[in-house]
Chain A
Amino acid sequence: MNRFLLPLSIFIVVVVFLGVGLRLNPREIPSPLVGKAAPDFSQPQLYDPAQAFSPADLKGKVWLLNFWASWCSGCRTEHPVLMELAKSGEVPIYGMDYKDQRDEAMTWLKRWGNPYPVVGVDEAGRVGINYGVYGVPETYVIDKQGMIRYKQIGPLDPDTVAKKILPLVKQLESQ
């Protein structure tokens, strides 16, 4: 009996490690920016390029910054969730049109609806790099002091919104 105990325990440890490894998502890389100040930018707005969109305008508000593009299929999946969240009025979602064509972006929003009060345009992807974006959609929760409090990699789903985003927004609002 004792002879089998050691190999068996090693086997169990290996199985546990592999099991945990299988459940991890290698696409989700923890962002070093969470807990740091949201990088500043000043980008032209989608509907009015003469006007600038900057996080400085939103100081004192809790808001979401959503990187999206008309070419991105995950954004299409996420879109109804954003529409629903915008309609609820719980938290404003500002858009950043990432490496996209202006006319295509506007057609996309016309077709599927526009959840954003303001959309900025990041044609060269530089704002994306400053925010550590490596695949759209990505969504940041930014607090009243302009700090990044949460980063969602990939599409938001109703579950994440209800269990993570909204409670966090409420907590940040009350601060």
Chain B
Amino acid sequence: MTWLMLILLLLSGQAWAGEARPLADDPAAEARLKHLAVELRCLVCQNQTLADSNAPLAEDLRREVREMIAKDMSDKEIIEFLVARYGDFVLYRPPLKATTTLLWVGPFVLLTIGATVLIITLRRRARKVVDVPVTDEEHRRVEQLLAEGEKRS
């Protein structure tokens, strides 16, 4: 009885695993699918890759990619197939082109602006500190104040 329960428990564990499970028998094809699927976005749950998603559409697309791998299509051809249907949105890494220039270059532009502003501000501040000379009058006053302070303590 205990054995039976243990076996049942072990068997049911598989059914609980809700993660996308590999289906193909060919490990090489499965490795290629995995490699491709992490680069592709699931269109239903948009923050998941095609590899992570359990949505029916993601399953269908994985099936489609598997079939294309079986047909010996290159990674580029497979990605082109998907981009032709779903647009650049399926790619986790959008290609560098006219409409995406800002996306790719933007952070570096902002970084350069930030660095320039920082350098200018620091230089200006340094000059301010150096450029203010202490006059003799001020010097005497400081001495006097210090002397007074000493007397009091």
Contacts and interface: CB of A to CB of B under 8 A. Distances in A.
A118 interface: no
B86 A134 contact: yes
Nearest to A30: B87
A128 B85 CA distance: 10
Contacts of A128: 57, 60
A134 B44 contact: yes
A125 B60 contact: yes
Contact of A32 (B57, B61, B64, B84): B84
Contacts of A124: 60
Contacts of A130: 85
A29 B86 contact: yes
A126 B57 CA distance: 10
A26 interface: yes
Interface of B: 43-44, 46, 56-57, 60-61, 64, 83-87, 89
- Please list the 6 inter-chain residue pairs (A to B) with the smallest Cβ-Cβ separation, ordered nearest first: A134-B43, A132-B85, A32-B87, A29-B89, A125-B60, A132-B86
Interface of A: 26, 29-33, 99, 124-126, 128-132, 134-135
Given A129-B64, A135-B57, 10 more contacts: A29-B87, A31-B87, A32-B83, A32-B85, A125-B56, A125-B57, A128-B57, A132-B86, A134-B57, A134-B86
